[in-house]
Structure 1
Amino acid sequence: MMLLTMTDIEIYKINTIKNVIDKRISGVDAAALLNLSPRQVYRLTKQYLKHGAEGLISHKRGQPSNHHHSYKFKQHVLDLVQIHYQDFGPTLAHEKLTELHAISVGVETLRQWMITDGLWLPHAKRKPQVYQPRYRRDCVGELIQIDGSHHDWFEGRSDKCCLIVYIDDATSQIMSLRFTNAETTLDYMAITREYIMQYGKPTAFYSDKHSVFRVNSRDAKTAKITQFGRALKDLNIELLCANSSQAKGRVERANKTLQDRLIKEMRLEGIDNIEDANVWLPKFIADFNRRFAKPPLYAKNMHRSVTEQPYELEDIFSWQEHRKLSNSLTLQYDKVLYMIESTEENNRLTRETVKVLDYPDGTIAIHYGHRTLKYQIFDKLQKVNQGQVVDNKRLGAVLKLAQTEQRILEMEDKRSRSKKAPKRSAQKRAIAQLRAINPVLVNPDEFKPSSSRR
Structure 2
Amino acid sequence: MNEQHKYDIIKSLVDHNGNKKAAAVKLGCTERHVNRLIHNYKQSGKQAFQHGNTGRKPVHAFTDEQKNDILTIYNNKYYDATFSYASELFAENEGIQISPSALTKLMYENFTTSPRTTKAVRKRLCNALRKEQAKTKSRKKHDVIQTAIVSIEDSHSRRPRCAYLGEMLQMDASVHLWFGDYKTHLHISIDDSTGQLVGAYFDNQETLHGYYNVFHQILTNYGIPAMFYTDKRTVFEYKKSKSSRVEDDTFTQFSYACKQLGVEIKTTSIAQAKGRVERAFQTLQQRLPIALRLAGITELNEANVFLNSYIKKYNAKFALPINSTKSVFENQPDIEIINQTLAILTERTVDAGHCIKFKQKYYKTMNAFGLQTHYHKGTKGLVIETFDKRLLYSTNNTVYELELIPEHEKLSKEFDIRPAKEVPVKRNIPATRHPWRNENFLKFRNFSLTEELLQC
1:251 counterpart residue number: 277
The answer to whether the 8 Å contact 1:139/1:296 transfers is no
1:206 counterpart residue number: 229
Secondary structure in 2 matching 1:346 = coil
Given candidates 394, 408, 417, the residue that maps to 1:367 is 394
State the distance in 1 between where 2:356 and 2:24 align. 87
Secondary structure in 2 matching 1:177 = strand
Flag the 1:44–1:150 CA change in 2: closer, same or farther, 3 A: farther
State the distance in 2 between where 1:79 and 1:265 align. 52
1:165-185 Cα shifts (integer Å, max 9, x gaps): 222222222222333322211
State the distance in 1 between where 2:398 and 2:72 align. 64
For the pair 1:138 / 2:163, whether they are aligned, the reply is yes
State the distance in 1 between where 2:156 and 2:71 align. 37
Equivalent residue runs for 1:315-394 within 5 Å: 315-322=340-347, 346-347=375-376, 349=378, 352=380, 354-357=381-384, 366-368=393-395, 369-372=397-400
1:196 counterpart residue number: 219
2:206 counterpart residue number: 183
Unaligned 5+ runs, structure 2: 115-124, 126-147, 366-371, 406-456
State the distance in 1 between where 2:278 and 2:207 align. 19
1:424-445 Cα shifts (integer Å, max 9, x gaps): xxxxxxxxxxxxxxxxxxxxxx
Flag the 1:111–1:185 CA change in 2: closer, same or farther, 3 A: same
State the distance in 2 between where 1:296 and 1:215 align. 35
1:238 counterpart residue number: 264
Secondary structure in 1 matching 2:257 = helix
1:199-252 Cα shifts (integer Å, max 9, x gaps): 222222222223322225699999994432222222322222245322222222
Secondary structure in 2 matching 1:166 = strand
1:386-443 Cα shifts (integer Å, max 9, x gaps): xxxxxxxxxxxxxxxxxxxxxxxxxxxxxxxxxxxxxxxxxxxxxxxxxxxxxxxxxx
The answer to whether the 8 Å contact 1:330/1:337 transfers is no
Equivalent residue runs for 1:2-401 within 5 Å: 8=1, 10-11=3-4, 26=22, 29-30=25-26, 43-44=36-37, 47-48=40-41, 50-68=43-61, 85=77, 89=81, 94-96=87-89, 98-99=91-92, 104-108=97-101, 121-123=112-114, 124=125, 126-154=151-179, 158-216=181-239, 225-296=251-322, 298-310=324-336, 312-322=337-347, 346-347=375-376, 349=378, 352=380, 354-357=381-384, 366-368=393-395, 369-372=397-400
State the distance in 1 between where 2:404 and 2:313 align. 51
Offset of residue 129 of structure 1: 3.2
Secondary structure in 2 matching 1:196 = helix
Superposition TM-score, scaled by structure 1 size: 0.59
State the distance in 1 between where 2:31 and 2:232 align. 65
Flag the 1:294–1:93 CA change in 2: closer, same or farther, 3 A: closer
The answer to whether the 8 Å contact 1:245/1:252 transfers is yes
Flag the 1:266–1:371 CA change in 2: closer, same or farther, 3 A: closer
The answer to whether the 8 Å contact 1:170/1:297 transfers is no
Q: What one-letter code is carried by the residue in structure 2 that aligns with 1:205?
A: F
Unaligned 5+ runs, structure 1: 1-7, 378-454
Secondary structure in 1 matching 2:218 = helix
1:82-105 Cα shifts (integer Å, max 9, x gaps): 9x9576756555445544676655
State the distance in 2 between where 1:132 and 1:101 align. 36
Q: What one-letter code is carried by the residue in structure 2 that aligns with 1:231?
A: A
The answer to whether the 8 Å contact 1:138/1:297 transfers is no
Count of matched residue pairs: 356
Q: What one-letter code is carried by the residue in structure 2 that aligns with 1:252?
A: E
The answer to whether the 8 Å contact 2:235/2:251 transfers is no
State the distance in 1 between where 2:227 and 2:317 align. 25
Percentage of matched positions with identical amino acids: 25
The answer to whether the 8 Å contact 1:158/1:273 transfers is no
Superposition TM-score, scaled by structure 2 size: 0.59
The answer to whether the 8 Å contact 2:349/2:378 transfers is no
Stretch deviating more after TM superposition (14-23 or 185-194):
14-23
Secondary structure in 1 matching 2:309 = helix
State the distance in 2 between where 1:17 and 1:228 align. 82
State the distance in 2 between where 1:78 and 1:101 align. 10
Flag the 1:47–1:150 CA change in 2: closer, same or farther, 3 A: farther
Stretch deviating more after TM superposition (45-54 or 192-201):
45-54
1:235-285 Cα shifts (integer Å, max 9, x gaps): 322222245322222222222222223334344444455444333333332
State the distance in 1 between where 2:153 and 2:285 align. 27
State the distance in 1 between where 2:241 and 2:9 align. 65
Q: CA RMSD in A?
A: 5.0
